[in-house]
């Protein structure tokens, strides 16, 4: 039985004092949560501070990206080891905003994933189609290619440190959510691709999160779908009431 996981992608929001406030509020609102895993992904600047706030709780902390080299003359980049040293244990890789604005490709997603795994971080690997791609009926081709590219050369034993997030690009930050049926269909397809590529056991244990305008009003129905194991939440994770409500919806299932 796969556990539910609710992760919050703070994107480029929250100064350090705001981050401390939000992390503390989420901590207070989730003291009774026992079954659902919670992960908060603040900007790099607040990772250590947020990790300090949640130390000793069940809340995990993650970065939103990493660079695959260990160290070197790579101005402004952050390595997996640096992320680990803040107390964070997770990292988001291949978010569509990174693909869209910063040239991320399936090949660089793969390099980042390998570096995350080597450094003991759990990776949340994002895939998803654009509106044009959905309308052209190529969603399966697109997400299949993304997931195969991301996991190129990744071996069975690594999958305990890998989570997938299906995030249709047309649903991110737009208020348009995939219907539970639309999301379930792609999640089931991704699980099938994983079964074909890496075997049924890995496919069945892999957590696949849905992301794209998840809010308290739609969380429960999405999270009830058979192959939806949690959510990657953007906008609604910036407020402790709405993020807390989504977490409580997952816990109630
Ligand atoms: C995201 O950024 O991963 C995301 C899903 O954003 P939103 O919830 O705002 O659509």
pLDDT score recorded for residue 176? 85
Q: What is the pLDDT of residues 227-244, one digit of tens each?
A: 999 999 999 999 999 999
Superfamily of domain 5-252: Aldolase class I (3.20.20.70)
From 234, 236, 237, 245, the mutation candidate for ligand 1 (largest count of ligand atoms within 8 A of CB) is: 234
pLDDT score recorded for residue 49? 98
Cβ(128)–Cβ(143) below 8 Å: yes
Taking the CA of residue 167 as reference, the ligand 1 atom at the shortest distance is: 5
Nearest to 247 by CA among 52, 90, 28: 28
From 213, 228, 236, the mutation candidate for ligand 1 (largest count of ligand atoms within 8 A of CB) is: 213
With b for 16 or more beta-carbon neighbours within 10 A and e for fewer, the 165-202 pattern comes to: bbbbbbbbeeeebbebebbbbbbebbbebbeeebeeeb
Residue 212 in contact with ligand 1 by CB distance below 6 A: yes
Res 208 pLDDT > 90: yes
Catalytic residue among 104, 167, 187, 248: 167
Contacts (Cβ under 8 Å, ≥6 apart) of 134:
168, 170
Report which of residues 173 and 195 the model is more confident about: 195
Task: Domain ranges for the chain, please list them.
Answer: 5-252
Average pLDDT, the chain: 97
Three-state secondary structure along 83-145? Answer: HHHCCCCEEEECCHHHHHHCCCCHHHHHHHHHHHHHCCCEEEEEECCCHHHHHCCCHHHHHHH
Question: Measured in angstroms, how far is the CA atom of residue 221 from the centroid of ligand 1?
Answer: 17
Nearest to 121 by CA among 154, 84, 67, 77: 84
Task: Determine whether 221 is an active site residue.
Answer: no
């Amino acid at each position: 039985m796969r556990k539910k996981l609710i992760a919050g992608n703070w994107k480029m929001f929250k100064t350090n004092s705001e981050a401390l406030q939000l992390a503390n509020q989420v901590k207070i609102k989730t003291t009774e949560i026992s079954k659902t895993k919670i992960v908060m992904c603040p900007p790099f600047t607040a990772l250590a501070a947020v990790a300090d706030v949640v130390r000793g709780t069940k809340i995990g902390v993650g970065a939103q990206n990493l660079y695959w080299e260990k160290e070197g003359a790579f101005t402004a980049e952050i390595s997996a080891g640096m992320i680990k040293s803040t107390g964070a244990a997770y990292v988001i890789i291949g978010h569509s905003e990174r693909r869209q604005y910063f040239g991320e490709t399936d090949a660089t997603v793969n390099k980042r994933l390998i570096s995350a795994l080597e450094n003991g971080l759990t990776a949340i690997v994002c895939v998803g189609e654009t509106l044009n791609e959905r309308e052209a009926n190529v969603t399966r081709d697109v997400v299949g290619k993304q997931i195969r590219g991301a996991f190129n050369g990744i071996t069975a034993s690594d999958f305990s440190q890998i989570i997938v997030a299906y995030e249709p690009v047309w649903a991110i930050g737009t208020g348009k959510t995939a219907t539970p049926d639309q999301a379930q269909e792609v999640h089931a397809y991704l699980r099938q691709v994983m079964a074909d590529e890496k075997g049924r056991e890995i496919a069945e244990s892999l957590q696949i999160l849905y992301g794209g305008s998840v809010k308290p009003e739609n969380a429960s129905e999405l999270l009830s779908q058979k192959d939806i194991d949690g959510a990657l939440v953007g906008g609604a994770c910036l407020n402790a009431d709405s993020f807390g409500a989504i977490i409580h919806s997952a816990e109630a299932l």
